[in-house]
């Protein structure tokens, strides 16, 4: 069975603990390194606002991935029609973390407030 691997390149990230500064870990083709995330994107009441805990997690993973190559594991994301996706996830490595990632990705954009 052939799978493609989906992953985030962690080419840039935003550090909420450093004034929402953008850090580029690769070629800065958009000239964003050192800039700050616009305040409108971080309004705590905004439904579309960036969440500090997610930004913080992403920043830490970007540092790990780019400095040591040891960020979060990359999970298989492409399951052919008719395959037992749940069975493959549960029998694979780090099944609990993978299930959490699947749940998070499927609930993206759903508000429980």
pLDDT of residue 14: 92
The per-residue pLDDT for 89 is: 78
Q: What is the token pair recorded at 54? A: 């997610």
pLDDT, one tens digit per residue, over 24-81 is 988 888 999 999 988 888 776 767 777 888 889 888 888 887 776 555 556 666 677 7
With contact defined as beta carbons under 8 Å apart, do 32 and 24 qualify? yes
First to last CA, the chain: 40
Q: What is the structure's pLDDT at 1?
A: 36
State pTM to two decimals.
0.52
- Domain extents in the chain: 12-107
Report pLDDT digits (tens) over 23-40.
998 888 899 999 998 888
The phi-psi region of residue 82 (left if phi > 0; otherwise alpha if psi is between -120 and 50; otherwise beta) is: left
Give CA angle at 59 (98, 15), nearest 5°: 145
């Amino acid at each position: 069975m052939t799978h493609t691997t989906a992953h985030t390149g962690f080419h840039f990230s935003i550090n909420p603990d450093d004034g929402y500064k953008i850090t580029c870990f690769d070629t800065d083709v958009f000239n964003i390194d050192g800039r700050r995330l616009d305040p409108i994107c971080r309004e705590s009441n905004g439904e579309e606002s960036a969440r500090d805990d997610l930004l913080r997690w992403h920043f830490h993973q970007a540092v790990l991935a780019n400095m040591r190559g040891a960020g979060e594991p990359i999970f298989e994301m492409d399951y052919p029609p008719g395959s037992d996706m749940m069975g493959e996830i549960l029998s694979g490595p780090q099944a609990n973390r993978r299930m959490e990632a699947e749940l998070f990705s499927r609930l993206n954009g759903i508000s429980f407030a």
